[in-house]
């Protein structure tokens, strides 16, 4: 009897969760995000075209660092890359106005994933976030209101969306804030580095420059960022604190945009943070919308969400799998030895933003074991400066370039070549230390997800 009662209670609990996830909520805030998201991506792509970054980042370099398993992805010609970014502009606008929304969002996602995978040396958290959000927007019905699709197909028009659509986007943004805060709980950040160094480099900024140069400014900004990231979402979810924490976050992202060159990220986060406001807030300020003339389904107790179906349960499983993956990826660096900001193992996809300042230098020693001949290879001769800076401080890129050098010598007839790296790096202003073991033949070392024993352990040293 107790077992049957427990099973009934469990089934009842699952049913309540399912009903809540598919209950209707106002679509207004999601429409505002759709418009902002589409136009921001279009503006960013247009800036790349206008400033010539499409050429300097993707066409001009003769070497690109691939992601594990994606070495087959190559950049297009100059004309092809320009057309691709022009297409991203058009697709971003199409998503914003809700024209052929599903197809536009899917193509926008694919285009950004392709650009993202072209060069690992260009890894940026906000580019990764854009890929994730574009992926989610492909499935979220954000085109049911204030869209060309709804105008062309009146039967599509709805004032509400299922709760899971808004909840999934909130979860994604909430994880970004939370894990960015968790990552800041490390000795360097709590000591004010590297933010102190970066703020001091902005001492020439009019009016506030002298304040930024003060050591206390770095500490204040560090702890403020930590607290904001950790508690942003809980405070946004509470009505009493929502207004002031939202205003604080807008100010926080605005300061980041003014002080650091981080592209579209601050504006994207401001747009995404509006999702935590009450779903109907755009109607209250008459933003795109008129106020409701009839009670909204989500606020009308007489409207009962339909019983869940098999398709909806499968959809719930897919959402659960996605959220689980987004929680697991930022945690994986805890399973690697050594500080993640030194080894870089598990650093990507973990929302470690602006947490380390690394400088390095590198060259390779190439040895022919048959003839005992040796060569010194300076990677700066073929890499752009921005690629060389990343190479000198990223062990994964060091290994990948060693394999490239080995293939090049093999093509010249030097068989079984050995490649060694002489690499030293400085973390957050400390004195340089050896990053990669100089006696390990990297040409024979395979890339994998396992801990890399050829990375020299970090030696604790005082900060500057």
What is the per-residue pLDDT for 13? 60
Structural domain contains residue 11: no
pLDDT at 301: 39
Contact, 160 vs 25, CB < 8 A? yes
Strands (E), 337-410: 358-367, 374-377
Q: How many CA atoms does the CB half-sphere of 200 hold within 13 Å? A: 13
State the pLDDT at residue 291: 56
Q: What's the confidence (pLDDT) of residue 303?
A: 42
Going by C-beta distance under 8 Å and a sequence separation of 6 or more, which residues neighbour residue 318?
none
> Could you tell me how far CA 174 lies from the centroid of its own chain?
13
Q: How far apart are CA 349 and CA 172, in angstroms?
A: 12
- Is residue 374 included in any domain, yes or no? yes
* Pairing assessment for the beta strands 358-367 and 24-26 based on DSSP bridges: unpaired
In a domain, 439, yes or no: yes
Distances (CA, A) of 346 to 70, 104, 274, 394: 18, 32, 30, 12
Domain that includes residue 434, residue range: 357-444
Residue 434 lies in a domain: yes
Task: Count other Cβ atoms within 10 Å, centred on residue 381.
Answer: 7
Residue 404 in tokens:
């490239």
Domain membership of residue 183 (yes or no) is: no
Which residues lie below 8 Å from residue 292, measured CB to CB, with a gap of 6+? 159, 280, 283
| Residue 14: predicted pLDDT | 60
Residue 207 belongs to some domain of the structure: no
Helix and strand numbers (H, E) in the chain are 19, 6
Q: Is the peptide bond before 194 cis (omega within 30 degrees of 0)?
A: yes
pLDDT at 2: 52
Strand partners, 426: 359
DSSP character for 56? I
- For β-strands 160-162 and 24-26, DSSP reports them as antiparallel
Residue 16 lies in a domain: no
Each residue's pLDDT, cut to its tens digit, for the chain (464 residues) gives 555 555 454 545 666 767 777 889 999 999 999 999 999 999 999 999 999 999 999 999 999 999 999 999 999 999 999 999 999 999 999 999 999 999 999 999 999 999 999 999 999 999 999 999 999 999 999 999 999 999 999 999 999 999 999 999 999 999 999 999 999 999 999 999 998 998 888 777 777 778 888 888 889 999 999 999 999 999 999 989 999 999 999 999 998 888 888 889 999 999 999 999 999 999 888 776 665 544 444 444 334 444 557 777 888 889 999 999 999 999 999 999 999 999 999 999 999 998 999 999 999 999 999 888 999 999 999 999 999 999 999 999 999 999 999 999 999 988 889 999 999 999 999 999 999 999 999 999 999 889 999 999 999 888 87
What's the number of domains the chain is made of?
1
Q: Which of 226, 259, 231 is nearest to 355 (CA)?
A: 226
Is 215 among the domain residues? no
């Amino acid at each position: 009897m107790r077992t049957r009662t427990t099973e009934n209670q469990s089934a009842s609990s699952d049913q309540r969760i399912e009903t809540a996830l598919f209950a209707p909520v106002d679509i207004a805030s999601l429409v505002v995000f759709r418009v902002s998201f589409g136009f921001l991506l279009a503006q960013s792509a247009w800036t790349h075209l206008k400033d010539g970054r499409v050429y300097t980042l993707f066409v001009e370099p003769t070497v690109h660092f691939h992601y594990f398993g994606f070495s087959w992805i190559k950049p297009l010609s100059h004309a092809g890359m320009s057309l691709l970014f022009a297409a991203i502009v058009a697709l971003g606008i199409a998503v914003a106005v809700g024209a052929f929304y599903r197809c536009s969002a899917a193509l926008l996602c694919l285009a950004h994933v392709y650009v993202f995978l072209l060069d690992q040396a260009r890894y940026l958290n906000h580019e990764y976030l854009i890929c994730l959000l574009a992926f989610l927007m492909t499935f979220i019905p954000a085109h049911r209101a204030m869209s060309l699709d709804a105008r062309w197909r009146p039967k599509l028009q709805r004032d509400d969306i299922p709760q899971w659509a808004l909840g999934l986007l909130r979860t994604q943004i909430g994880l970004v804030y939370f894990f960015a805060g968790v990552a800041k709980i490390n000795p360097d950040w709590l000591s004010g580095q590297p933010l102190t160094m970066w703020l001091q480099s902005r001492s020439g900024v009019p009016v506030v420059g002298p304040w930024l140069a003060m050591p206390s400014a770095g500490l204040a900004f560090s702890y403020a960022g930590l607290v904001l990231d950790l508690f942003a979402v809980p405070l946004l979810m509470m009505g009493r604190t929502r207004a002031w924490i939202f205003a604080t976050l807008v100010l926080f992202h605005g300061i980041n945009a003014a002080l650091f060159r981080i592209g579209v990220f601050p504006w994207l986060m401001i747009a995404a943070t509006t999702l935590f406001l009450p779903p109907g807030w755009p109607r209250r300020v008459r933003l795109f919308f008129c106020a409701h003339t009839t009670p909204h389904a989500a606020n009308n107790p007489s409207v009962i969400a339909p019983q869940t179906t098999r398709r909806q349960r499968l959809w719930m499983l897919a959402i659960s799998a996605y959220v689980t993956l987004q929680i697991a990826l930022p945690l994986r660096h805890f399973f690697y030895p050594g500080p993640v900001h030194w080894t870089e193992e598990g650093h990507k996809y973990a929302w470690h933003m602006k947490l380390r300042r690394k400088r390095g230098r590198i060259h390779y020693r190439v040895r022919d074991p048959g003839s005992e001949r040796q060569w010194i290879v300076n990677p700066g001769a073929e890499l752009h400066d921005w690629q060389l800076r990343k190479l000198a401080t990223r062990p994964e890129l060091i290994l990948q370039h060693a394999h490239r050098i080995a293939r090049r010598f093999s093509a010249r007839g030097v068989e079984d070549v050995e490649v060694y790296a002489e690499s030293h790096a400085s973390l957050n202003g400390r004195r340089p230390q050896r990053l990669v073991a100089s006696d390990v033949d990297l040409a024979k070392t395979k890339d994998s997800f396992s801990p890399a024993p050829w990375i020299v352990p970090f030696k604790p040293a005082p900060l500057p």
